[in-house]
Amino acid sequence: MYSKKDERFYVPTPGGDYLYSLDSKSTEDDRPEFIGLWTEDLTKYLNENQLEVNTFTTTVHFLEPPSGEQFFVKWFFYDEYEIYKGSKQVTSRTVDFIVFRAEDHPIEKKKKQLFYTDDIGDLCIFLGHGEPYCVRASSHPGLRANCIYFSGYNFGTYDINTKRCNMFFAEEDILSSTKFPYWPHP
């Protein structure tokens, strides 16, 4: 993700503890930096599903809407073994999301503080296997503010405030496909 605010490229590490960072004006000889991510104690904010996070697979996403705010999103899902039309398969089921506002650490330059939030205002977040992004819901009729639209492991929406996950279903089962798990950019 490119941050206009910081004029840097960021890629979250798989565990979500650091951001791999490269200055936009860097040369071939420059080395990337690691920006540490610090979170507060989250147990007072998390629901029952989120407290079981160690049992789920997680992907992490870092994004910056045009307003310059920065968000860090954790996407939780699990794999389910099932027999579908006589064939054995493993499908992934989205369970939850946790959203954080990211702010520069007031003392340490190479750290960002992550603050849990359940309100991103008029924004909605799009997550898939491509680059995540935000848009203003009020600028796009039919979109719901304070929601995450996700595709990839499943397709659906997640209301950040109510923590309600709504999956899109086909006639027989939940929609899941990795053939085209991308949202087109507006």
186 located within any domain: no
Mean pLDDT of 111-126: 94
Q: What is the total count of domains within the chain?
A: 1
Give the bridge partners for 58, in sequence order: 76
174 located within any domain: no
160 by Cβ neighbours in 10 Å (0-12 / 13-18 / 19+) ranks as buried
Helix H or strand E segment including 50: helix 48-51
151 located within any domain: yes
127 located within any domain: yes
7 located within any domain: yes
Task: Confirm if 61 and 12 have CB atoms less than 8 A apart.
Answer: yes
The predicted pLDDT at position 142 comes to 93
Of 5-9, 116-120, 168-172, least confident by mean pLDDT is 168-172
176 located within any domain: no
Helix H or strand E segment including 55: none
178 located within any domain: no
183 located within any domain: no
Structure tokens at 184: 């087109």
Q: Is the pTM of this model over 0.85?
A: no
Mean pLDDT of 103-116: 89
Boundaries of domain holding 7: 2-167
